[in-house]
């Protein structure tokens, strides 16, 4: 997939790193240490793994700042080799957008405004009055409802569904089978226990640079907007209820779920399978351990875990003691026995003393 070689000097500039070695060296790809071939650049995350670097066939390396000069080895020193690697790898893979146009076997509704430079695959279905910006790619089997707006360079993968009225920003990636804009789950129950549907007339708005995982579901608002803000990354099989707001750059790991009307600040992280109750707020940078259940508002920066979630340090201590409950109970039993004996003896003593 690597298209062309790049000069290492350029790569150093791209990631703001310090080059040590031949600035004219050409590299043709990026790969992990053990997989990199000659002519490729690789990366070393921390000093401890320096031996792996020595056996790698790579032509050059992204290394942390604290790595000294290695004779005959070309390195770029960077603050975060992981990050620099992601940037360089992306640069190698970048290809100019290939506009295949609208495939004759795609179906497009009426009154759409679709940029000329798009790729819409066979058997994609676009509703009425849909707007699609330049360099958007829509894969096979995607269904887009009426009145949807899609920005620039967004990719919607196979069999994803974007329901009517949704607004999708630019450079968004929506993975296969994801559903954006399904009805929120809202009912009112009558005297006989039957549930009357509360109409779900709001929309979903997805800002720029968001990624949405495979088979993830984002419900439209009951009224108003369910909002996924800029830079949010959502993994597979995540559930987002109606009227939820997910703040910029938050990360939701696979199978997490957020109930209706809850709001998340910026850079919140939900671990895998974490669940968040409805109508609460997790402030900026809250981190929730995988598998936890969050029942209450959380202040900025809180790191929490457990069910219900509590500060993670407290939880770790309690969880360690949970395992010891049998021993704890044995100790209590022992204490009771000792005390009973003592009470008995004391009783004897006082009885003895009473004689």
Which one among 55, 95, 196, 355 touches a second copy, defined by CB under 8 A?
Answer: 196
Instruction: Decide if residue 304 touches a second copy (CB under 8 A).
Output: no
User: Is residue 123 near a second copy by the rule CB under 8 A?
Assistant: yes
Among 3, 52, 93, 300, binds a second copy (CB under 8 A): 93
Q: Which helix (H) or strand (E) element contains residue 196?
A: strand 195-197
Q: Give the H or E element holding residue 7.
A: strand 6-7
Angle, helices 312-322/325-354, rounded to nearest 10 degrees? 70
d(CA 215, CA 234): 11
Of 3-11, 51-59, 112-120, 341-349: span binding a second copy (CB under 8 A): 341-349
How many angstroms separate the CA atoms of 286 and 88, rounded?
A: 30
Work out how close the CB of 328 gets to a second copy at its nearest, in angstroms, rounded to a whole number: 6
- Name the residue nearer to a second copy (CB basis): 97 or 185: 185
Q: Does 97 bind a second copy (CB under 8 A)?
A: no
Other C-beta atoms closer than 10 Å to the C-beta of 49 total 10
**3, 52, 65, 83: which one binds a second copy (CB under 8 A):** 83
Does 116 contact a second copy by CB under 8 A? no
The reply on whether position 354 binds a second copy by CB under 8 A is no
Which are the contacts of 89, defined by CB distance < 8 A and separation ≥ 6? Answer: 30
Considering the complex, what minimum distance in angstroms separates the CB of residue 71 from a second copy? Answer: 28
Number of residues that bind a second copy (CB under 8 A): 111
List, in order, residues 6 or more apart from 25 with CB less than 8 Å away: 7, 8, 59, 60, 74
Question: Is 190 a residue that touches a second copy (CB under 8 A)?
Answer: yes
Q: Which of residues 7-36 bind a second copy (CB under 8 A)?
A: 31-32, 35
Q: Which of 111, 113, 338, 344 binds a second copy (CB under 8 A)?
A: 338
Stretch that binds a second copy, among 5-13, 17-25, 51-59, 158-166 (CB under 8 A): 158-166
In angstroms, give the least distance from the CB of 25 to a second copy. Answer: 22
Left if phi > 0, otherwise alpha if psi is -120 to 50, otherwise beta: which for 167? beta
Burial 162-193 (b: 16+ CB within 10 A, else e): bbbbbbbbbbbbbbbbbbbbebbebeeeeeee
Among 272, 280, 297, 303, binds a second copy (CB under 8 A): 272
């Amino acid at each position: 997939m690597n298209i062309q070689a790049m000069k290492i000097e350029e790569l150093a500039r791209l990631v703001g790193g310090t080059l040590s070695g031949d600035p004219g060296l050409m590299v043709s790809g990026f790969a992990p240490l053990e997989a990199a071939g000659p002519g490729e650049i690789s990366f070393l995350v921390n000093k401890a793994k320096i031996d792996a670097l020595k056996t790698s066939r790579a032509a050059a390396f992204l290394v942390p700042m604290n790595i000294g000069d290695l004779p005959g080895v070309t390195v770029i020193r960077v603050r975060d080799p992981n990050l620099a690697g992601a940037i360089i790898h992306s640069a190698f893979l970048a290809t100019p957008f290939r506009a295949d146009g609208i495939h004759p076997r795609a179906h497009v509704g009426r009154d759409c405004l679709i940029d000329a430079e798009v790729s819409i695959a066979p058997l994609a279905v676009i509703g009425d009055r849909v707007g699609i910006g330049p360099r958007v790619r829509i894969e096979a089997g995607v269904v887009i409802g009426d009145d949807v707006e899609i920005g620039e360079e967004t990719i919607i993968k196979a069999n994803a569904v974007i329901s009517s009225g949704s607004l999708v920003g630019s450079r968004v990636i929506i993975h296969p089978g994801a559903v954006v804009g399904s009805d929120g789950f809202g009912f009112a129950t009558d005297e006989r226990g039957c549930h009357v549907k509360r109409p779900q007339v709001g929309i979903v708005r997805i800002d720029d640079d968001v990624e949405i995982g495979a088979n993830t579901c984002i419900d439209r608002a009951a009224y108003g907007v369910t909002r996924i803000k800029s830079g949010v990354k959502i993994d597979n099989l995540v559930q987002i209820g109606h009227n939820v707001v997910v703040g910029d750059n938050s990360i939701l790991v696979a199978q997490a779920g957020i109930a209706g009307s809850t709001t998340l600040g910026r850079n919140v992280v939900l671990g895998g399978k974490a669940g968040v109750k409805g109508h609460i707020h997790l402030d900026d940078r809250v981190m929730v351990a995988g598998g936890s259940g969050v029942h209450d508002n959380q202040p900025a920066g809180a790191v929490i875990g457990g069910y219900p979630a509590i500060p993670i340090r407290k939880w770790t201590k309690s969880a360690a003691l949970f395992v010891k409950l049998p021993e704890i109970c044995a100790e209590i039993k022992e204490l009771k026995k000792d005390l009973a004996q003592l009470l008995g003896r004391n009783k004897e003593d006082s009885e003895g003393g009473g004689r």
